[in-house]
Structure formats: C-alpha cells, structure tokens
Structure 1
Amino acid sequence: MRNRNKTPKASMARPFSPRVSLGWFAGLLLGAGTPAGAASFDCQNASTSVERALCADAELSALDSTLGAHYERAMANLEPDQREALRSRQRAWLHIRDACGDARQTLVACLQPLLRQRVIDVGQLTQPDTAALDAIIASIPYRPTEAAEGLRRYPTNELAAAWRVYLHRFEPASGVTQGEADGSRRQVLAALASDDYPRSLFDDLERDQSVSRDRVELTLLRMMIERAEYAFFADQRAYVHCFVFSRQGDAAYDAFGPLYGSTRDSFAPICEPLDPLFEQAPWQQLSSSVDEAVSAASENSGTVRFASYADWNLLALRATSSPRAFLKAPAAPAQALEQIVRDWNDETSWPTTLRQQALAALEPARQVTSTWLQHEHGFSADEAQQAAAEIVRQWLSQRLDFISENVGGE
C-alpha cells in the first residue's frame, strides 16, 4: 500500500452472479503462481525499496493487496471521525513500515510481520469475527506450518477444520498429522450432515472410484466455504481461498465448479479472474453480441441455468490463472467457429446484426488474448495463438450451446 490515498481498481463486472466480490483482492491470492505486481499499486511505478520488495515477493504482494482491500472497505463503511482516525493510524503505520530499511533480506523479514498484523488490525474494523481466521487461511501458500498452528486455535470452527484437512492432503510440510486430519474430517462431515442435499452429493462423489481423492477433499472444502457464507457477506468478507486454483489445478476447478444444478450453483465459490482480460474492448464487444440471446435463453432454462453461469465464471478464472490448460486441447481452425456463427439458423434467438457483431469481434478477441498471454504469461507466439483461439472458442461455444438448448439455433 503506497504512502498516499489510492483507490484500488474496480473488479470486473460478472453477469449472473449475486455476490459483489473484490476481483483484485481475490486474484492476488492465487498462490505461488501470482505474478509480481499484485500489490495494491501499479508495480511498474514502484520507486522505493519497500515498494520494490512488495512487488518482488509473492507473500508481501498478497498481504499488501489484502491490506488495501480491508482499508478501502473500512474507509467506505466507517463514520467520518472513525475514517479520519484510521487514516491517521495508517499514516503512522506507513512510517514504521518504510523504516524497515533497504537491505533485501532484512527488509522482507521486517515487512512480513508488520503487514500480517496490519491486515488483521484493519480487517477487524469491518469483519471482527473473521479477519484473523481469513488472514491465517490466506497465509497457507506461504507459511503452511504457521497456518496450521493458527488453525489449531479454532478447534470448534468447521471451516478451520476443513482447512486442516486440506493442509494434511496438500501441504504435508504443515505438520498436520493423520490423526488431526481424521478428527477434523469427522468434524466437517458432522457439520455437513445438517444439510442432506450437499451431504448426499458428497457421499456419492466419495464412493465414485473414478473421482480423484484430491477432488473429493477439495469438494469438502468447497462445501465448508459455502457454509461460511462468504458470498452473502462479500462486502465484508472477500474470498481468501483463491490460491487453490493455481496450486491444485484441474482438481480444484472440478471441485469448485457447478455441482448442484440449481440456484445453489449461484454461490459456487469461484474467484474472480486474475486479470481484467475480459474487460478489454474486443471481449466486451463479443459479450454484448450474445447478451440479449443469453438473457432470452435464461428465461427458459430454469434454475439449472446457474450451473451454466458457474461454468462461465470458471472458464474466465481458468483463462487468467491457468492459461496453459488451453494448450492441451487439439488446435481447431479458427474458421470453424466463424462458420458456426454464420450458419446459425434461428434469426429470432440470435439476430443477424448481433451475429455480425460477434464475427467482427472474434479475431480481435484472439489477438488481444494472444498479446496478453505473451506479455503476462511468457507464452511463445505460437503457444499464445493456440491458447487464445481455444479460450475464445470455449467462451463463445458455452454461450451458443446454452442459447441453442434453451431457445433455438444451429
């Protein structure tokens, strides 16, 4: 957080999602894969040793952005005299932070405890009951042993229990024992028993031999995150679990995606895209070309539509946090997607003028995505073109399938 008042960038608007989450806060917690620059300011303009350290170290960057999120939320919700008091305390704290020095090794060691404690102090102004636990959860990718110690301070909290199960499965260096994990798992399952529907889904999943154990345990965690109701209190409690997507990959995407085929999927704890890629003009043009058709199809699709919306949100997250996954798909000729749009045979469900708008946006969307992949993720030109084409293809195909199934089309 810079030593000045700064308004963090707004999150990307996501249609069909009831929660108002802080995209820039969620994105910063995508774990070890988070690029430098996820701090609360533009790292390209970092000018001091402290700012450069915040940008260069993944944990410091995440902590700084988390602090920025809590600070903005507190400043928006407090009374005027409380805001002025917070502003004064923050300025005093920034002077202490900036006194950490210049030497890289000692600077990081000085900044870490200062930032961790400040995140809790400021977070407790708007979420007094959850800020400390959320700070512990957010530290898991960086300090799993300390996170385990912190989670043990919540012996009766079912969410903390679910995270202890996670640590045993995915972070063995955390020191969570098999006995601790087994006890925590029983605690979580006992809590889940109060809701028959998700418990029955989980039991079916656990019995399915084709489902990986990673996905089973991550699904259990997902259900506890839902029970913690982050989505209902997004103005106060931002997601802190987003690192699981980059760290656990396909298993996490499968576990956190559409599960219920009902309105419950509207609360799937899917994090915001890591980068505002889909806010760029070609993507906005492509989106506006199908918005009316999607809206009309939604009226006919019942509550199962929320599963589709969750799938779309998952694609946006995967595209920005795990884009190399799109290199696994066989390369499809770009012309095939254009031909599908041209051959659409229902003028009512998707008028010609909007199809023409989509056709005009397809190649620019590929180009802007390809450029972004090379710049942000180090893709070669060929890799970027292949992944960009696949991202665009899947994005549009999801929506065209939805329109076709619920209104008409191909």
Structure 2
Amino acid sequence: MTTPVRRSLRRRCLAGAAFVLSFAAMPALAQSFDCAKAATPAEKTVCASAGLRSADEQMAQTYADLLGYSAPGDRDSVLKAQTAWLTQRDKACADKAKADVCAAAYDRRTEEMAESLRTAQKRIGAIVAGIPKDPKGAAAALARYEGAAAKAWLVYLYHSGTVAVPDRQGEVRRLVAEVIDTGLPKNDPYLLEEIRNLGDVAGGPAENMLMFLRHVLSLTDLEAPCFLFTKHGQPAFEAFGPFWGSTRDATPEVCHDVKSVYDLPEWKKLATHLDPAIAPALDERGSIRIGYERQFMIDALQASLVPSTLLEAPHSAEARKMAETRTKAAAAFHAWKDFDLWPEAQVKAAKAALPSAIAATSKLYREKFGLAANIADQAARAAGDRFIASRLALLMPDD
C-alpha cells in the first residue's frame, strides 16, 4: 500500500450543519439546520446536545441520500414523510429535559430511512446489472435519478462509449461537476481531494474514469459488478484495488459471483503453511490490514475471472510500484531465511506445495478459459506470485 494512510470513512458519512444540496428537485428539508440560528424549542434542544446534533446531521444525510436514490415518482412520498416526521420531532424534542425521547425519535426516523435507502439502492443495483444486456435502457433509467451513484454510472456509460451521447466530453464534465459540487459530503476533504486529483475525467484515460466510479461507489452499499472487470481488465482491477490503506478500502465491494481459483485444494494446502505466519502480521497492522485484505480479494478475483490479465503490464504508477513489491516478495520467498518470522519447516512445506498449486491452476486455465498451454502456465505462475507475494509482503520490512 503506497498511498498514505487516510482517516477512516464511515459507511454513511455525516454531512454537518453546512451540508447543502442544490438539486432543484430536492427541498431545503435535506439540510440540517444551523444551530447559530436555532429558534424553536426543538432546535434549541438539539443544539444543546452534541449527541443530538450528530443525530440530526446523520438523519439529514440519510434523508438526502434517500432522495438521491429515489425515482421521481417516489420523491413526493419521501418529502411528505419527512415533513410529517418534523412535526413529530418538534413535539418530541420541545422539552430539553427529555433529550432521550428526542434521541429515540431521531434514531427511529434514521433507521426507517436507512431501510428505505437500502431498498432504493437495490433498485439502482438492478439497473446497473442490466447494463451488459441493455445499456441504453439502463442509461435512460439512471438519468431519472439525482444521486451521485447514478450520475457516476452515467459517467461510466458515456466515457466508455457504451452509450453514445452528443458532446460526450461535455456531458461527462457536467456530470462529474454535479457529483463533486452537490453529490458528495462536504466534510470529507480527503475524498474530494482525491477525486479532484483525477483531473479532467472526461478527457482522461479509462483508469481515471474507473477510479472516479470507485470513489463514488465507496459511499454506498452498491458493489462493482463483474462486467466491469471482464470488460476493462487490468485498469478495473487496479482502480478497485487497495487505495487508502485504511478502513476506506472496505468499500465498494466487488462482484461475488466468482469461485476463487485459490479455493482449489492445492492452494488451501499451501495456505496452511503460510497463514500461521501471516495472521499475527495482519493483526499488527490494525485498520491498515483492510488494505492488504482488499489486495488478497482483488488478486483472487483477477486470477479467477480474467487470468490472462495477470500477464499484462501495470497501467498506473501505483500499480507499477505494487508490481515491484510483488517481484521482491516473490524473490524473497525462494530465498527466505528469517525463520523467526516464518519457521523453516513451514517455509519448506510451502515451497513443496507451490508447484502442485500452479499445475492445478494451469490445468484449470486450459480447460475453463481455453488458454494455450504456454499462456496457461505463465498465468498460473503469475497467480502463484500474487498469492505468495501479497501475503509475504506483510513479513517483509517496509521500504
């Protein structure tokens, strides 16, 4: 993980009192009120408690997210429900001495909206799943939504040329600007900084567009579907790999409908000789371990879904650095001498188990993917390097 460790990102970022949406279709109720201007008894109760202020901000962000994920026909009902709740809130929170009653009201409303949000996100996910079969239909459906994730998927469809639109770059720039200006939480400067660091997404390479999509999806419960990886190969695996070196790397999730090549018995046997040394090293990394585990997951996905891409050269500077680290770790495996970290008996057993794992993988690549024998052998060895190197890097000193 060569990118500096960042602060952890909460799954549902809180927007803060200054959170503002400029979507014309979204009412002012989407923003948390300013405590400097608190006027009603309920507002004064909320502003007198840090816990209630936090609850109000979280509720406001969840409400804004729910509107963004709601189809036009559903937004009026969301607005009416929120208006009705605010009336209830004003009664529940009028008495400062009953702050617990006020807090319970916020908790119930936020959980109700969170459940609706999960349902709404599933609808977006279903639209996205239909992209390979009907990209134009998916684009038309996504265009009905105001949320950042729908716009990010439109950026993907237009930038990749999957759906043709007049003035493609202009349309992509408009969507990216709307996501940055109105679709992301303003109290997350790190994420905004990294998205801005991508530069002109519309005129940039596919890698930047995919990274933009990855960053936006990281704020949702949506996953990166398998077709992203089968279509875009190495750039997609790089974009959705470890980036932050912290708990941020837990999202977005990636496609699960793939049986891992590392579940072969031969790899399982090798893991029994390596995992006992790796487990303590992972624990010592704290939250950084999530970045390492993300790399394990991406390596398994790449080796199992599009194994030929294991032989491609890295695209990004970060990926090239990671490839250099893997090369060093693979070499260290064959010359391992630090038996205090990894006992000699386990090292020898792992080395003895590796050829069988590579042979079984090569056979799978020939039979399932139709790779020529020499390519299958090379890809299988590359899969072995990934498996060994990403784990052994935990035992090696940082550069």
Once the two structures are TM-superposed, the CA of residue 127 in structure 1 deviates from its matched residue by: 5.4
Give the gaps of 5 or more residues in structure 1: 1-18, 20-123, 231-238, 330-335
Compared CA separation, residues 322 and 355, structure 1 to 2 (3 A) = same
Kindly state the Cα deviation for residue 285 of structure 1 after the two structures are TM-superposed.
1.1
Describe the SS at the equivalent of 2:119. coil
Distance 1:299 1:173 in 2: 45
Aligned to 1:351: 343
Deviation at 1:363, TM superposition (A): 0.9
Q: Which residue of 2 aligns with 1:385?
A: 377
1:306 maps to amino acid = I
**Cα gap change, 1:131/1:267 in structure 2, threshold over 3 Å: closer, same or farther?**
closer
Partner of 2:81: none
Q: Equivalent residues in 2 for 1:135-284 (5 A)?
A: 135-154=126-145, 156-175=146-165, 178=168, 179-190=170-181, 191-192=183-184, 194=186, 195-206=188-199, 212-230=204-222, 239=223, 241-272=225-256, 274-284=258-268
CA separation in 2, counterparts of 1:289 and 1:197? 39
- 8 A contact 2:135–2:163 mirrored in 1: yes
How high is the sequence identity, in percent, across the aligned residues?
A: 28
Give the deviation of 1:318 after TM superposition. Answer: 1.1
Q: Is the 8 A contact 1:268 1:310 kept in 2?
A: no
Tell me the CA shift for residue 206 of structure 1: 2.5
Structure 1 residues 288 and 266, CA, compared in 2 at 3 Å: closer, same or farther? Answer: farther
| CA distance, structure 1, for counterparts of residue 163 and residue 331 of structure 2 | 52
Which secondary structure does the structure 2 equivalent of 1:206 belong to? Answer: coil
Deviation at 1:180, TM superposition (A): 4.1
- Which residue number corresponds to residue 66 of structure 2? none
Give the 3 Å change call, closer, same or farther, for CA 349–175 of structure 1 in structure 2. Answer: same
Contact 2:330 2:389 in 1 (8 A): no
Listed as ranges, the matches of 1:5-404 within 5 Å are: 128-154=119-145, 156-175=146-165, 178=168, 179-190=170-181, 191-192=183-184, 194=186, 195-206=188-199, 212-230=204-222, 239=223, 241-272=225-256, 274-328=258-312, 340-341=332-333, 343-404=335-396
Match of 1:116 in 2: none
- Aligned partner of residue 299 in structure 1, secondary structure: helix
Report the TM-score when normalising by structure 1. Answer: 0.59
Measured against aligned partners, the alpha-carbon deviations of 1:106-141 in whole angstroms (never above 9, x if no partner) come to xxxxxxxxxxxxxxxxxx999532333211111112
**Does the CA contact (< 8 Å) of 1:258 and 1:268 recur in 2?**
no
Q: Which amino acid aligns with 1:128?
A: T
Give the structure 2 partner of residue 94 of structure 1: none
The answer to whether the Cα contact below 8 Å between 2:127 and 2:141 also exists between their aligned partners in 1 is: yes
Tell me by how many angstroms 1:291 deviates: 1.1
Contact 1:257–1:314 under 8 Å retained in 2: yes
Cα RMSD after superposing both structures? 3.3
Task: Say if 1:274 and 1:296 are closer, same or farther in 2 by CA, change over 3 A.
Answer: same
One-letter amino acid matched to 2:150: A
Is the 1:286–1:362 contact (alpha carbons within 8 Å) kept by the matching residues of 2?
yes
Separation in structure 2 between the aligned mates of residue 257 and residue 127 of structure 1, nearest angstrom: 24
